Homo-oligomer: A and B are copies of this chain.
């Protein structure tokens, strides 16, 4: 069977279930802990913050497959299947014997993979009869995705947007408004936690951690609202597994077996989703594969953080999660790859990394933009800075193959487009790009403040 240049599944071939990688992990990710008692969070405790069905998914370490509800499948059909593309032009440019594939999740108005979980979370909120949801957004992809999903299901949507992104990406706000969401720069004076952070750090440009605190406070203090999160959580990785399942169906159809799978990692939603079914095969001992998380050198939670219980948010109102973390009050340098500015990492990916099932590398920002531009010129797509971390690592891997002569099959996740990141591209063109990396002393100081559990 001839392999097409771009593989699109037909509607009948598309995944009808999400895959829960926890079911195949012998050692499960550590449970979320109640920040007061340090005991595992119960479903009852979590249900004040999250929808009931999402709480169930969050805590379920055993069910391997979740059927995707018909309403969500209908929404998925609006922008899925996403193409699996053979990067012939990139291979030629790199003169590599490697075969490079990418799964492109940017062909929807949110501009990224985030829509996969947004629609699921909005659907369950609607099913539960809620009025609306609150959330945070970094670069804006998640907020846009959630706005689209809420508009579709007729839910109110309140978004706290990390201030640096709110200011650098004003157009993202307008897209969210097109879909009827309200958008507040974070930290803000609309919440107790926001006011406290502003008082302690008056000039702060914000962080995902702050914005999460504000969104959670708003959800629990408004009846009929729940909080939803675009990454980190087990439920999000479950929904995002649609990326990996779709990729695997496409690859299996043509007998393609990746030797290495690469994804950018901020909170871990894309990487966790992309690798899920392939990691399942590895965990079950059926087929081996390397997995590489790529994070920014400015926010290196896996490569330089510690594996410990920590707060998911700066305001310390959320449950504690065991994860690779830089400390919940670590505020990264204003890094234009906004979506990867999170201090921690998905507990699932953290545990897999701890078990040695997953590798991690960190890359400096300028090198990421160089890779982004090189990719754009040969493959046509203008990539998001976040996604470009994966491009950079995939190119490095392909160059190693050129040196060793190995004909590896490399798969990477191209999570989104960079149409809203042109301020960053402009800085790159003007030589104003910041390559700040935190010092060991800084990281040690943050780590010393981790909760003692």
A contacts, CB < 8 Å to B: 4-6, 8, 10-11, 77-79, 89, 107-109, 111, 148, 151-152, 170-171, 174-175, 177-180, 373, 376-382, 417, 419-420, 422-423, 425-426, 429
Copies of this chain assembled into the complex: 2
Alpha-carbon gap, A89 to B154, bound state (A): 14
Q: Does B78 lie within 8 Å of A373, measured CB to CB?
A: no
Alpha-carbon gap, A240 to B207, bound state (A): 46
Task: Give the chain B neighbours of A425 by CB distance below 8 A.
Answer: 174-175, 177-178
Interchain nearest-CB distance for A241 vs B (Å): 21
Which of B89, B179, B382 lies in contact with A175, CB distance below 8 A? Answer: B382
**Also in contact, A78 and B419, with CB within 8 A (given A8-B8, A178-B425):** no
Alpha-carbon gap, A431 to B85, bound state (A): 42
Which of B373, B380, B422 lies in contact with A148, CB distance below 8 A? Answer: B380
Q: Does B419 lie within 8 Å of A171, measured CB to CB?
A: yes
**Chain B: which residue is nearest A111 at the CB level?**
B419
Which of B11, B77, B178 lies in contact with A382, CB distance below 8 A? Answer: B178
Task: Give the chain B neighbours of A373 by CB distance below 8 A.
Answer: 178
Interchain nearest-CB distance for A173 vs B (Å): 8
Across the A-B interface, give the 4 residue pairs with the lowest CB-CB distance, nearest first: A171-B422, A419-B419, A174-B422, A109-B382
Interchain nearest-CB distance for A103 vs B (Å): 15
Interchain nearest-CB distance for A351 vs B (Å): 35
Q: Does B109 lie within 8 Å of A429, measured CB to CB?
A: no
Q: Does A179 lie within 8 Å of B381, measured CB to CB?
A: no
Which of B8, B79, B108, B377 lies in contact with A180, CB distance below 8 A? Answer: B377
Q: Does B109 lie within 8 Å of A175, measured CB to CB?
A: no
**Also in contact, A151 and B419, with CB within 8 A (given A4-B10, A107-B107, A382-B109):** no
Q: Does A109 lie within 8 Å of B417, measured CB to CB?
A: yes
Alpha-carbon gap, A219 to B420, bound state (A): 33
Q: Does A109 lie within 8 Å of B426, measured CB to CB?
A: no
Task: Give the chain B neighbours of A380 by CB distance below 8 A.
Answer: 78-79, 108-109, 148, 152
Interchain nearest-CB distance for A320 vs B (Å): 37
**Chain B: which residue is nearest A171 at the CB level?**
B422
| Sample (28) of A-B pairs whose CB atoms are under 8 Å apart | A4-B11, A5-B78, A8-B8, A78-B380, A79-B380, A107-B107, A109-B376, A109-B380, A109-B381, A109-B417, A111-B419, A148-B380, A152-B377, A152-B378, A152-B380, A175-B382, A175-B422, A175-B425, A177-B425, A177-B429, A178-B373, A178-B376, A178-B382, A178-B429, A179-B377, A180-B377, A419-B419, A419-B420
Alpha-carbon gap, A379 to B77, bound state (A): 11
Task: Give the chain B neighbours of A170 by CB distance below 8 A.
Answer: 422
Task: Give the chain B neighbours of A77 by CB distance below 8 A.
Answer: 5-6
Alpha-carbon gap, A107 to B429, bound state (A): 25
Alpha-carbon gap, A111 to B177, bound state (A): 21
Task: Give the chain B neighbours of A89 by CB distance below 8 A.
Answer: 78
Alpha-carbon gap, A171 to B171, bound state (A): 11
Task: Give the chain B neighbours of A109 by CB distance below 8 A.
Answer: 376, 380-382, 417
**Chain B: which residue is nearest A77 at the CB level?**
B5
Alpha-carbon gap, A79 to B104, bound state (A): 12
Q: Does B377 lie within 8 Å of A151, measured CB to CB?
A: yes
Alpha-carbon gap, A180 to B373, bound state (A): 10
Task: Give the chain B neighbours of A78 by CB distance below 8 A.
Answer: 5, 89, 379-380
Interchain nearest-CB distance for A69 vs B (Å): 17
Task: Give the chain B neighbours of A79 by CB distance below 8 A.
Answer: 380
Task: Give the chain B neighbours of A429 by CB distance below 8 A.
Answer: 174, 177-178
**Chain B: which residue is nearest A373 at the CB level?**
B178
**Chain B: which residue is nearest A11 at the CB level?**
B4
Task: Give the chain B neighbours of A180 by CB distance below 8 A.
Answer: 377
